[in-house]
Amino acid sequence: MNFSSNKRAAAAAALLLFALCASSVHAAPMVVKMATLAPEGSSWYRVLQEMGESWKKASDGAVTLRIYPGGVAGDEDAMIRKMRVGQLQAAAVTGMGLAYLDRGFYALHVPMMYASDEEFDYVRDRISPALERRLEEKGLIVLNWGDAGWVHFFAQKPFTRPGEVKDMKLFVWSMDTNLIQLYKEAGFRPVPLSSVDILPGLQTGLINAFDTTPLAALAFQWFGLAPNMADLRWAPLTGATVIDKKAWMRIPEKLRPKILEASRAAGRNLRGEIRKLNEDAVKVMVKNGLKISHVPPDAMAEWRKVVEDIYPRIRGKVIPADMFDAALSYRDEYRAAQRGKKSGAR
């Protein structure tokens, strides 16, 4: 073999090596690191796992999901901060956590504004496009919407009236100074904490009451130290899976619709399942010592007055006026349609 042929062989080998390296780089999957408060083994966690499998399948392994469950990445405000600096790319966050980014999300969580799942779904389905646009302006893409269930109050002593809860040391999320102030103005005794501090807070007496969904109270075993619940539906708790827009744009354009559809399907599957599991959670907790107090009509009126008295303080101050008005308008629209159906059926 002469010098010229050696040169051609070396060049060919170099090209082959380059091609192999390029192929290897192309084949390396994009890993999306996602955090959630949902404990490992919970329904929320399992649905996220299934969503990750759908991503992997839809992208032929090009996009994979790595989940950090149980608050190991911190509370929801910490998750969002870590997304900002690139330590995380995504998070499954409750609506209260999303309100940390945009107060418009509070419109979906106004206490006692919604009377049923159907009513809430009607409002959320119509208000969510505006909320998604507001988040995208802040650099986040909503992959799906999910449910956590209806929030109830839990306490160490039995209660049915707001005055009884006002005497208790009530857990409130520390990341939200506006919410803390509102509880104070309404006469409650809020104790700002991270959600991961609820259990030790109950153990030490720092708090003796909290509000959350039955499924969360069971999953985190908080109810064992606060075994009294009222059958008052305080507010629906929604949530969303969000991804940093920069990370989203790094996913090949042709794969984004597939990833989005897999995510939306996971959200739809979760909605019905979570609602049933919340009902099941109540039954399980009752078998393990939970006592449920019925809130009579006169006490219900007291709760409603507490809420309606703060409406003027939250519209335009805590919740953007346009979002508050939109939620209220859609709710009233739904109720009017239901009244029309009942009248037509007679």
Pairing of strands 30-36, 90-94: parallel
Answer yes or no: is pLDDT of 19 > 60.
no
Residue 244 in contact with residue 309, Cβ under 8 Å?
no
Least confident of 42-56, 206-220, 326-340: 42-56
Residue 44 in contact with residue 71, Cβ under 8 Å?
no
DSSP structure class, residue 319 = B
64-82 as b/e: b if 16+ CB within 10 A: ebebbbbbebbbbbbbbeb
% of the chain surpassing 90 pLDDT: 61
Answer yes or no: is pLDDT of 23 > 90.
no
pTM above 0.85, yes or no: no
Give 112-128 pLDDT, tens digit per residue.
999 999 999 999 999 99
pLDDT attached to residue 345? 65
Residue 311 in contact with residue 111, Cβ under 8 Å?
no
Q: 157 falls in which pLDDT band (50, 70, 90)?
A: very high
Give 245-286 pLDDT, tens digit per residue.
999 999 999 999 999 999 998 888 777 788 888 999 999 999
- Give CA–CA dist 154/169, Å, rounded: 11
The rounded mean pLDDT for the chain is 87
- Give CA–CA dist 229/282, Å, rounded: 10
Give 87-113 pLDDT, tens digit per residue.
999 999 988 888 888 899 999 999 999
What backbone torsions phi and psi does residue 153 show, to the nearest 5 degrees?
A: -90, 140
**Structural domains in the chain, sorted by start:** 29-329 (3.40.190.170)
Burial of 42 (C-beta count, 10 Å sphere; 0-12/13-18/19+): buried
Answer yes or no: is pLDDT of 9 > 50.
no
pLDDT attached to residue 329? 96
Least confident of 43-52, 118-127, 232-241, 279-288: 43-52
pLDDT attached to residue 346? 62
pLDDT attached to residue 173? 84
Average pLDDT over residues 222-235: 96
Average pLDDT over residues 312-327: 91
Answer yes or no: is pLDDT of 66 > 90.
yes
Helices 256-287, 43-58: crossing angle, 10 deg rounding: 160
